[in-house]
Structure 1
Amino acid sequence: MDITKFIVERRLKIQIDSSYKHYQPEITRQIQTLRKKLDIATKRRSKYISKAITVEDISRSHEFVHFQLLLAERCYANAMMMKEMHMVGKKGLTGPTRSHIDSRLHKGVKYAKHLCRLLSDKSTTNANDADILEARAYAASLAGARYFEKESWESCVKSYSEVWIIYTALFKATNADIFKDLLTDPVDPSIRYAAYKMGLPRTLAISAIVRQNFPLEDQELTRQLGKLDLDSLKDGAAVSEVESLESDVAIKTIVWRSRTVVLEDAAIAVALGSVKAATPKISNALSSSSRKDMGLAYDDVLMASQEAVDATKHAIDELASEGVEQSDKRMQSLFVTRTRNIYEMISWRVGRNRAMLGKGDGLDVDPPRQLYRKKADRIVPREAGTSRKVAPLQANVVLYDGILKDIESIRELHGVTSDSELMEELDAKYSYFQALRCLMLARAHAIVPNSENLRNSLALLNRAAEKCTAAHSKLSSSMDTTTADSPPNLTVISSQTENLLAYLHCELQRYRALVEIYDFTSATPQPADENVRQAPLVERLHEYPADGVVDLKNIVNYPPRMEVVPVKPLFFDSAWNYIDYPGRTTEKTAEKAAVEEEAMETEPEELQEQHQQQKKGWFGFGR
């Protein structure tokens, strides 16, 4: 019957519009359409009679289930719309408004529970245990929302605990992301907030809160959950064992820049424990020969790190909504935790890019795949094209750009700019990856060996050597104890900078020799070019002489000969009417003066004629 999917698809409109204003009319239109389709609409000029659906209706068509869900969802939408409208006003939620919201949610719960009772008759409705559990979870979620608005926190936790257990069991059985998304929002935040209002400690995990408040006296629900997932409900010993395992995985304290912070939020502690548990998987994947597989090994760590960052932000937002100032000790501890978690997440992101670069952060280049072509009756090797050679180097440059951008984002974190030692360390790491990027660009220039490309490569190598020298001088005194066998992250040890610096010095000497060889061979006159005359200097002013010597004996062509000269075209047909050319201006002025004189002579005569025609007296009558 897909009860949960049906509701989630309807609520997607709320996420699009970010408002319940248009959600309730949409649900009402769907109800009217479904009434006509099921032939239960009230006829014109007839009195409306409320008639509840029966088991026989559901056995006839499963769309009666959707009809009942829409009735409950309309009550929920009406309540949320009233809350949204009154929260914007000056008075906020008053007593009558809260009572009205509670009555609408209560009516929605009645519709949902009636559907659960109807679906319990499996033989008639053809419903399975999953359908009944989904309907039960929907009814419990509406009840939890009602108790949340009433600020009845204990009942709210009990209702949402039932939802949490059901959706967790359904997710394990079906592996559908829709149940996981519903657990993320709104079930988990509602349980966490209601538990906080009840005075429960923040270090208590959500799974422990749920098991303590789940209605175990409901034997039918327990039986259905046991058939769906045996591990969803356990006895007391098993529950305590799970909770002890969770407490072992969770991290109690963290250290950031010689400052120890005690984690009071259980969500942050569990997320950091997941990061710690996923780290050994990266070490096992380092032996893989595929760079792509090594990069994919970081996905679990990155997801867990992102969850830790989100949990920290959520905890800060909760304290801020309660009016806690930033100078408070709890807020300061969360700020330090957030900076540390974001730094670790970015560090693992940089490590993934370094793993995809290969051994030595891209210093060791894999040999290109040998290409072959068929010639006559045999296959002979052929050289790869320039674009094929440049492609892997270009991919590495993109990875270096991502690393440099990540390091720049660390500098903007809270409290990093005031730590001068950390800023110097970040600058050194930034210079190290800049040197590697310059090295990769130098290799790309040297693919087509000519004098200009080799000079560009030599300049880039010199730049890389300068950057690496600056990085090595700062990182050589670092107290980092990370070994080379650990998974790659943002950490750069002194041996890596030392190897890069030695390699760059060797490459500098080699490219200097190559540039000298090319300059020497290009300066040697070739017998075949003795009779070739170069263009004069006046035509080569945009070129800088490679040897610094200008041939002053070939400045211009002498004796001069007829040549094509680039000029700007003049379109006389369009410019003639707008440009005064010499000779034409005098004639125009003379004509204009003659016209003005004629006008002056004719003007007095016209005035005299007008004066004679004028009659005396009033209104033109003579006297």
Structure 2
Amino acid sequence: MDITNFVVSARNQALLYGDYNTYHKQLAKKLHNCRKRLNIVTRNRGKFSKKEPISAEKLSENHEYLHLQLLTAERAWAHAMRFKAVHSADTKGITGRTRSHIISRLDKGARAAETLVNVLSDASTSGASDTDILEARAYASMLRGATQFEKQSWEPCLRSYATARIIYTALSTSMRGDIFKDLLSETIDPSIRYAAYQSKVPRTLAIPTIARKAFPSSDSALVEQINKLAPDLLKKSDSDAQKGQVGAPNAPQTITWRSREVKIEDAAIALALASTDTATALLEEKLASSDVTLPREMAAAYDEVLIASQDAADATKHAIDELKEEGVSQNDPRIQSLQITRTAVNYQMISWRIGRNRVLSGEHDGALLDSAPTTTRKSKKDATSRKPKIEPTGRKISRLKDKVVLYDSTLQSIDSIKELPGVAADEGLLEQLEATAKYFRALKSLSIARSHSLTDQSPNAYVLTKHAFDECQQSAALFSKHGASSSDSSPRNIEIRQADIQFLHNLLKGELQRTRAIVQIDSQRQKAAETVPPHGGSPLVQRLFEYPEGGANLNHLVDFPPKMDVIPVKPLFFDVAWNYIDYPGKEPVAATTPEPEQKTKQQAQSQKKGWFGFGR
């Protein structure tokens, strides 16, 4: 019969482009068409007559009676949600007749759904399966829970939503669970959490544990149906329930931040922290294995830790927002504890983010100008047979630009830590963050200096290297004051190791001497080029019109041995020579003097040649 899919798909389709008013109008139209198909619609201007209740026999003959009950319940629910959405912006809240009307509509929908459950329970007559009965029971419990939520009857509300959650969780084990997951995350779980808070249930309990404790175990028939689908669902312990969600059997109860230990009172935060611890252990195993060697592979191993840390930060923020919405002041101990927890989990998340950037930078945080890391593995045969190729300058500069981008991202992350609650008042932490920032600024200046060296801009490279050396010295002084706490075996994070600082200091010391020497050599070459002309230039005999300020080059007076050069020649006698050159198609010049008549003809012909009668 697919009851859950019928309801959820209708809601999603209507609410995707409309609101509850649109959904209510669509349901009224669908309900009218359904009654037409069943031939029970009231005629126009006809007298209203009370409809007979549906029976198991009618439902087994025609499933339209099932849709009739579902559409009736959904229309009542949409009507209530429409009124609730209209009055949600009221300053005094929903009170008086509006609240009573909303409750009456929800109660009507719950009664229609419960009637459907009673009809389907007669499985021998209605032909319903156990899954159909469970889906109808979960839908009715969800509507009944919404009614009790508006009545502020928190314990019955918690019981109803717990029933719906347990049933949908059991059904998800044997059916496609995407629809059930949406119902649980968007509707049922938030209602259970709020009802549990109003019922004074501790926040340390997870939602599956709360639902299992509030589930009506006295209903033996329902318990039996649940056990058929998921035998261990109602028997799970707290640790097993947590393990099913976060992959860790034990969630931490406290968190430590800067020598302050805070108790974790929210179950979602505890589970997220347990997931982070599990992901951290897996990260250490991956980095310790020999299969992960390339920087991109090592950076990909950080993804699970970053996701778990982000979940912990989101859970903490959500808990703080809930308390603020409830009107809890900032001075409340719960808010203070959550603020400390928020700073701790965000610092941890940013720390892993910086560690991922450090891994992507390469060995020693990218301090070495090594070759570009390959993205694919090569066999030993290929590695020995092929000769190493010299990397072009453009490729080197491109890699240096990528490193600078990573350093900028790291520096932005360090600045974001300073904005966390309580960090501005911690002088020791601020000094440590400043030392870390100077370390990465030194690496950034070193990369930019190398790019200038590759483009033959030695003065710029020397100045940037000197700046990087000064930053590294200041960073080393600050770290020697506070001490580096990170061990050599732990994964890379925001903590800088003493070996990394010492390596960078020694490297920059050598780079500073090298760039200084290059600048001195370039200056000497430039001075020599300005004073003494190059040996391959023009000889002194050709530059007598110039005054040599630095003295004449007596070693290059003339070119010897002499070279054959082209000299300019002015064509003075070309016109005269034209008359004595025999060209093809031209009559030869007569040796004897022409006769007067011939001479006259030749003159007449010569007058016709050329432009405007002029010619040779």
Does the CA-based 8 Å contact 1:451-1:519 persist in structure 2?
no
Residues in 2 aligned to 1:308 and 1:261: alpha-carbon distance in whole angstroms? 15
Residues in 2 aligned to 1:365 and 1:170: alpha-carbon distance in whole angstroms? 58
Question: Alpha-carbon deviations, 1:382-408, whole Å to 9, x = none?
Answer: 655555444443333332222222211
- Aligned ranges 1:40-51 → 2 under 5 Å: 42=41, 45=44, 47=46
Alignment pair present for 1:417 and 2:424: yes
| Cα deviation, residue 486, structure 1 | 0.9
- Aligned ranges 1:7-406 → 2 under 5 Å: 7-12=7-12, 20-28=20-28, 42=41, 45=44, 47=46, 68-89=69-90, 91-116=92-117, 133-171=134-172, 176-234=177-235, 239=237, 242=240, 249-287=250-288, 288-364=292-368, 367-368=371-372, 386-406=393-413
Question: Alpha-carbon deviations, 1:30-89, whole Å to 9, x = none?
Answer: 6567778x6869597474775777778887997876665444333222112212333433
Question: Alpha-carbon deviations, 1:398-423, whole Å to 9, x = none?
Answer: 32222222211111112221222222
Does the CA-based 8 Å contact 1:261-1:337 persist in structure 2?
yes
**TM-score, normalising length from structure 2?**
0.72
Does the CA-based 8 Å contact 2:145-2:161 persist in structure 1?
yes
Aligned partner of 2:578 in structure 1 is none
Residues in 2 aligned to 1:18 and 1:395: alpha-carbon distance in whole angstroms? 46
Q: Note the aligned Cα RMSD (angstroms).
A: 4.0
Secondary structure of residue in 2 paired with 1:459: helix
Residues in 1 aligned to 2:369 and 2:66: alpha-carbon distance in whole angstroms? 63
Decide which moves more: 395-404 or 409-418: 395-404
| Cα deviation, residue 11, structure 1 | 4.4
Residues in 1 aligned to 2:166 and 2:85: alpha-carbon distance in whole angstroms? 29
Does the CA-based 8 Å contact 2:73-2:108 persist in structure 1?
yes
Secondary structure of residue in 1 paired with 2:87: helix
Does the CA-based 8 Å contact 1:465-1:505 persist in structure 2?
yes
- Amino acid of the residue matched to residue 493 of structure 2? N
Does the CA-based 8 Å contact 1:351-1:490 persist in structure 2?
yes
Does the CA-based 8 Å contact 2:294-2:373 persist in structure 1?
no
Structure 2 gaps of 5+ residues are 377-384, 543-548, 551-616
Does the CA-based 8 Å contact 2:83-2:102 persist in structure 1?
yes
Does the CA-based 8 Å contact 2:15-2:23 persist in structure 1?
no
Question: Alpha-carbon deviations, 1:6-40, whole Å to 9, x = none?
Answer: 5445545798689645443354456567778x686
Q: Indicate how the Cα distance of structure 1 residues 473 and 216 shifts in structure 2: closer, same or farther if over 3 A, else same.
A: same
Q: Indicate how the Cα distance of structure 1 residues 83 and 241 shifts in structure 2: closer, same or farther if over 3 A, else same.
A: closer
Secondary structure of residue in 2 paired with 1:254: strand
Does the CA-based 8 Å contact 1:68-1:115 persist in structure 2?
yes
Residues in 1 aligned to 2:407 and 2:521: alpha-carbon distance in whole angstroms? 32
Aligned partner of 2:598 in structure 1 is none
Residues in 1 aligned to 2:122 and 2:452: alpha-carbon distance in whole angstroms? 76
Aligned partner of 1:464 in structure 2 is 468
Question: Alpha-carbon deviations, 1:409-448, whole Å to 9, x = none?
Answer: 11111222122222222122122222222233334444xx
Aligned partner of 1:584 in structure 2 is none
Question: Alpha-carbon deviations, 1:210-258, whole Å to 9, x = none?
Answer: 2211123444443443343333222xxx536647989972222222222
Aligned residues: 522
- Amino acid of the residue matched to residue 282 of structure 2? K
Residues in 2 aligned to 1:56 and 1:477: alpha-carbon distance in whole angstroms? 85
- Aligned ranges 1:562-601 → 2 under 5 Å: none
Secondary structure of residue in 2 paired with 1:511: helix
| Cα deviation, residue 473, structure 1 | 1.4
Residues in 1 aligned to 2:499 and 2:420: alpha-carbon distance in whole angstroms? 28
Residues in 1 aligned to 2:460 and 2:176: alpha-carbon distance in whole angstroms? 55
Does the CA-based 8 Å contact 1:249-1:274 persist in structure 2?
no
Structure 1 gaps of 5+ residues are 372-377, 534-549, 552-623
Secondary structure of residue in 2 paired with 1:451: coil
Question: Alpha-carbon deviations, 1:433-474, whole Å to 9, x = none?
Answer: 22222233334444xx3422x443333322222222222211
Residues in 2 aligned to 1:2 and 1:357: alpha-carbon distance in whole angstroms? 54
Residues in 2 aligned to 1:478 and 1:513: alpha-carbon distance in whole angstroms? 35
Does the CA-based 8 Å contact 2:485-2:495 persist in structure 1?
no
Secondary structure of residue in 2 paired with 1:88: coil
Q: Indicate how the Cα distance of structure 1 residues 359 and 175 shifts in structure 2: closer, same or farther if over 3 A, else same.
A: farther
**TM-score, normalising length from structure 1?**
0.72
Does the CA-based 8 Å contact 2:38-2:64 persist in structure 1?
no
Alignment pair present for 1:433 and 2:433: no
Residues in 1 aligned to 2:121 and 2:172: alpha-carbon distance in whole angstroms? 22
Decide which moves more: 343-352 or 521-530: 521-530
Secondary structure of residue in 2 paired with 1:255: strand
Aligned partner of 2:602 in structure 1 is none
- Amino acid of the residue matched to residue 499 of structure 1? F
- Amino acid of the residue matched to residue 322 of structure 1? E
Question: Alpha-carbon deviations, 1:189-223, whole Å to 9, x = none?
Answer: 22222112212222233222222111234444434
Question: Alpha-carbon deviations, 1:94-124, whole Å to 9, x = none?
Answer: 2433322122112222343455566668899
| Cα deviation, residue 93, structure 1 | 2.3
| Cα deviation, residue 341, structure 1 | 1.9
Aligned partner of 1:496 in structure 2 is 500
Secondary structure of residue in 1 paired with 2:237: helix
Secondary structure of residue in 1 paired with 2:464: helix
Does the CA-based 8 Å contact 1:475-1:493 persist in structure 2?
no
- Amino acid of the residue matched to residue 25 of structure 1? K
- Aligned ranges 1:551-566 → 2 under 5 Å: none
Secondary structure of residue in 2 paired with 1:272: helix
- Amino acid of the residue matched to residue 337 of structure 1? T
| Cα deviation, residue 160, structure 1 | 1.6
- Amino acid of the residue matched to residue 80 of structure 1? M
Q: Indicate how the Cα distance of structure 1 residues 381 and 414 shifts in structure 2: closer, same or farther if over 3 A, else same.
A: closer
- Amino acid of the residue matched to residue 440 of structure 1? S
Does the CA-based 8 Å contact 1:140-1:160 persist in structure 2?
yes
